[in-house]
Amino acid sequence: METTLIFSKRPSTASVPSGLAPFTRLREMLTVLHRANPVLSWPAWIHVGLLVIAMVAMFLDHRIITGMNAWIKPIKFVLSDIIYLWTLGWLLADLPAAAERAVRRISWGVAVAILVEITIVFVQAARGTTSHYNGSTPLNALLFSLMGIFIMLNTVLIIWALVLTIRHRPHGSTAYVWGMRLGILLFLVGSLVGGMMVHQAAHTVGAADGGPGLLGLGWSTRAGDLRIAHFLGLHALQLVPLVGWLLGRYAPRRAVLGTWAFALAYVALTGALFWEAMQGIPLIAVR
């Protein structure tokens, strides 16, 4: 199940033009990932197809939902899911063979949870309504509740994955292993911010959802927006293990300390953005 070895190998791109070498490297990594964890790889490729559908729909369907084209939200969710599925598959593949059965169960659970969530996001966009915090009709309330159940399932499975990384040491340097553990933990912190949005049935603090926002992101420029801290927390799953791996490879003497320092700074920034949003302060104010 080990995949970190691909990072330490120079890919066989000698006969490939230099401009294409990064794409060849990416293809090799995705091939390794697909062999290591097809259960998470296949849903990611399904999302690639959904991304194409959503981008075409964006140009054909000009309906507006909460201030943006109806298909902007599905596009953002699809991109986030692709990164999440590939990252989780990569990290889980670095667990030893003793954890293989648990990894398989986690992978199946996450795959189902993510596919259910993205299906609901697409269905609601096609219906011209919001997918989150929507209780305007019995059907909308049912779909949002169903989404919430599977988001909770995903969270529980990630907690299980964190436990596995503690019980079974993953392959890789000590800094990379700590980066993996801390990245998963911070991902769960980001999930808690998502729970706060569900609790208040909105992501904007101090204004209604759907007001003026940053181009492409939609983050409010008039009030606080919890999606920023949520976004930062979730993507710790990619950034913190990556920093741990880089430090383990290029600065091994201080790699563990550097990984912890980065993770602590990351959680401080996430906390500051959460506090700012709860005070109704936008990340970038535009009047």
Residue with the bigger pLDDT between 29 and 50: it is 50
Please answer whether residues 230 and 199 qualify as being in contact, where contact means their C-beta atoms are separated by less than 8 angstroms. Answer: no
Tokens of 108: 């199946």
Spans of all domains in the chain: 35-171, 173-287
Q: Coil, helix or strand for 132?
A: coil
Of all residues in the chain, the percent with pLDDT exceeding 90 is 75
pLDDT at res. 78: 97
Q: What is the pLDDT of residues 18-41, one digit of tens each?
A: 566 777 887 888 888 888 899 999
pLDDT at res. 20: 64
Whole-angstrom CA distances from 64 to 113, 179, 286 are 27, 40, 21
pLDDT at res. 14: 46
Q: Pick from 198, 263, 192: which is nearest to 229 by CA?
A: 192
pLDDT at res. 26: 79
DSSP, res 207: S
Of all residues in the chain, the percent with pLDDT exceeding 70 is 92
pLDDT at res. 213: 85
Please report which confidence band the pLDDT of residue 9 belongs to, taking 50, 70 and 90 as the band edges: very low
Mean pLDDT, all residues of the chain: 90
pLDDT at res. 115: 97
Please answer whether residues 203 and 197 qualify as being in contact, where contact means their C-beta atoms are separated by less than 8 angstroms. Answer: yes
- Say whether pLDDT at 135 is over 50: yes
